[in-house]
Amino acid sequence: MKIQVINGPNLNMLGKREPEIYGTLTLDEINRILEEEGIKKNVIFSFFQSNHEGAIVDCIQQCNENMDGIIINPAAYTHYSIAIRDALASINVPAVEVHLTKIDEREAFRSISVTKDVCISQFFGKGIDSYLEALSYLIEKWKVSKKEGDNE
């Protein structure tokens, strides 16, 4: 199984940026933990981070050709990027939205996600475990789709 992990703006600052909110893990450490878990579960990852909306849209669109799933933390774009929402809606690859923090318990604007309705699930508020739960969820969905494909 091949999974694209997409991280949005300012996530490259993890570990330095407001550690009391986001924790002390860096994005590289999160990616390494995912990769280690992926090795155990026969998952190959591609990792992408950008502070630029259009680059994220391009990455999402490219997934349609060669990925089995997407784990996306759109970060601030979660709350207002119709472009990212539309890119996720335009492809045939299941995406799971993740957030390190409890977005529904923070500032009011953070409780709005314009991307969640085009994702198959959403995990948030558990730090790195949000990513790991998304990984497990995607693997299970992929296994079910493969079994259903075998029965046709």
Q: Which of 77, 80, 99, 131 is catalytic?
A: 99
Is residue 22 part of the annotated active site? The answer reads: yes
Q: Measuring CA to CA, which residue among 139, 89, 145 is closest to residue 117?
A: 89
How far from chain centre, in Å, is Cα 143?
19
How far from chain centre, in Å, is Cα 44?
15
Strand pairing report for 121-124 and 2-7: unpaired
Under 8 Å between Cβ of 80 and 106: no
Q: Which of 22, 77, 131, 137 is catalytic?
A: 22
Buried b (16+ CB within 10 A) or exposed e, 33-52: ebeebbeeeebebebbbbbe
> How many CA atoms are closer than 13 Å to the CA of 108, on its beta-carbon side?
0
Catalytic machinery residues: 22, 99
